[in-house]
Amino acid sequence: MWNKIIHIGGWSGGVALLFVLLGASVSSSNRSQLVDVEVHIDFGEGNYFIDQEEVEEVVSDLGYIEDSTLMVDIVPSRIEHVLENNPFIKYAEVYENLNGILSVEVNVRQPILRIFNSNGRSIYLDDQGRFMPLSRKYSSRTPIANGFINSDFTKYIGASIFELPDSLNTPDVLVMADLFKIVQTCRKDKFWKAQFNQFYVNEESEIEIIPRVGDHIILVGNANDIDKKLNKLQKFYEKGLNKTGWNEYKTINLKYASQVVCTKS
Residue 62: the pLDDT is 96
- Residue 29: pLDDT above 70? no
Residue 126: which CATH number? 3.40.50.11690
Q: Identity (one letter) of the amino acid at 265?
A: S
Model confidence pLDDT, tens digit, residues 124-153 = 999 999 999 999 999 999 999 999 999 999
Backbone angles phi, psi at 36, to 5 degrees: -160, 155
Q: If pLDDT is split at 50, 70 and 90, which confidence band does 10 have?
A: low
Domain end (from 91, 108, 125): 108
One domain for residues 130 and 242: yes
How far apart, in whole angstroms, are the C-alpha atoms of residue 16 and residue 180? 59
- Is pLDDT larger for residue 21 or for residue 218? 218
253 vs 218, 240, 263, CA distance in Å?
6, 14, 8
The confidence band for 170, taking pLDDT boundaries of 50, 70 and 90, is confident
Cβ-based neighbours of 200, under 8 Å, separated by 6 or more:
145, 146, 147, 207, 208, 209, 210, 217
Q: What is the mean pLDDT of residues 114-125?
A: 97
User: Are residues 10 and 98 both part of a single domain?
Assistant: no
pLDDT at position 149, please? 97
C-alpha atoms less than 13 angstroms from C-alpha of 61 in its C-beta half-sphere: 10
Query: In terms of residue numbers, what domain contains 177?
Result: 111-264
The count of structural domains within the chain is 3
Contact 142, 109 (CB under 8 A): no
For 38-59, write each residue's pLDDT tens digit.
999 999 999 999 999 999 999 9
Query: Mean pLDDT across the chain, nearest whole number?
Result: 89
- Say whether both 8 and 63 belong to one domain: no
State the Cα–Cα distance between residues 92 and 106, nearest whole angstrom.
Answer: 4
Closest among 183, 127, 120, 123 to 155, alpha carbons compared: 123
Ordered alpha helix ranges (H), 32-136? 52-61, 76-84
Whether residue 118 is found in the same domain as residue 62: no
